[in-house]
Amino acid sequence: MKLPVLGTYSATAPYHCPKSKRILDQGCKALAKRVAAPSYRQNPITRSLNALALLASGNPEYLPLVRKEAQWAAGFSAQSFQTWYYGYVIALLSEYAIATRDESVVPGLRRLALEAANGQSIVGSWGHRFAGPDGRLVGYGMMNSPGLPLTISLVLAREAGVKDSKVGLAIERSARLLRFYIGKGAVPYGDHHPWIQTHEDNGKCGMAAVLFSLLGEAAGAEFFSRMSVASHGPERDTGHTGNFFNILWSLPGVAQSGPHATGAWMQEFGGWYFDLARRWDGTFLHQGPPQMRPDKYRNWDCTGAYLLAYAMPLKKLHLTGKRRSAVPQLDAAAAQALLLDGRDGSNTDRTRVS
């Protein structure tokens, strides 16, 4: 079997990197065929990410497919796991509305954003499902893994024109809750102490870096981006119920610190890991952590999740850097120093680079 020669990653990959561009182009072409097929079926998270990747490519040929997916998203609803699904569905709708000014999806976007805002607890958190009428979480406690993407999506929805005061209140409540962890450790599982065992806790530092950057809050964006840079190897290759979110939010968080940070991280971990996940046709499958039993995300189509990382240099979406990062950019030496922190297992205090 003959495989195309893609070359090697540049020192600032995926920025200024011909190999990264080839992977993005090939992957989007294969993904578009998959999305257009009548048999296309995905869960709401990967379906939203796949459409976001096509939109992030900036290729106008994919717009009809993205429009079809946005129309699906505008009518989306769920009776369970709403908090997990809504964040990614709202993000897709918001980015699509911003990029295309298609007013037809705005009513659906507004409905979803308000459902998410009204489903927040009175202290600014979300659980496995939306809070009850009294503002208390139902059946399960605070969970930051769905809560952070929900907050990001509400920021994007506000950017797309959903100006309701309830959305603004939900954003501020959540941000106030998450600011507590700045300078202390990784964002934990739920209403817990800062996570200090590793630099990252299943992608939530990457999520927080993106969130605070979108909010223009440099202190939070910088801290959580530096934590993302320092996270690689075993701590990046694992995660509660699997490492899907740890991989998904890796480069978006690292990228807030600039091309030298992404290049160093790709050289240390991302380059070989991403290449192992990529199949011969340019699509990507979930690899899962190094364990005997499959995790919860077995056989998920992760093509969009990986391609969003390769689309960062194009800056077509807010999620891929359309708005300038609030984080001071690392030079090559500082990026390598953070990687060494992660390699020798040192604690989070050493991520505070002056």
Concatenated DSSP letters of 151-203? HHHHHHHHHTT---HHHHHHHHHHHHHHHTTTTT-B--SSSSSPB-SSS-STT
% of the chain at pLDDT higher than 70: 97
Mind listing the pLDDT tens digit for each residue in 85-122?
999 999 999 999 999 999 999 999 999 999 999 999 99
Same domain? For 32 and 53 the reply is: no
- Domain assignment present for 257: yes
Q: In angstroms, rounded to a whole number, what is the distance separating the alpha carbons of residues 275 and 246? A: 16
Domain end position, chosen among 179, 196, 212: 179
Which pLDDT belongs to residue 349?
46
Same domain? For 64 and 142 the reply is: yes
Same domain? For 34 and 149 the reply is: no
3-state secondary structure of 93: helix
- Domain assignment present for 229: no
Burial of residue 194 (number of CB atoms within 10 Å: 0-12, 13-18, 19+) = middle
Mind listing the pLDDT tens digit for each residue in 276-288?
999 999 999 999 9
Domain end position, chosen among 162, 179, 196: 179
> pLDDT tier at 80 (50, 70, 90 boundaries)?
confident
DSSP conformational letter for 6: -
Tell me the whole-structure pTM to 2 decimals: 0.95
> pLDDT tier at 1 (50, 70, 90 boundaries)?
confident
> What is the average pLDDT across 163-182?
98
Top pLDDT among 140 and 75 is at 75
The residue segments making up the domain with residue 140 are 42-179
Q: Are 161 and 108 in contact (CB under 8 A)?
A: no
Per the listing, tokens 């806790």 go with 201
Number of structural domains the chain divides into:
2
Q: Are 108 and 75 in contact (CB under 8 A)?
A: yes
- Domain assignment present for 202: no
Tokens standing for residue 153: 């999506």
- Domain assignment present for 208: no
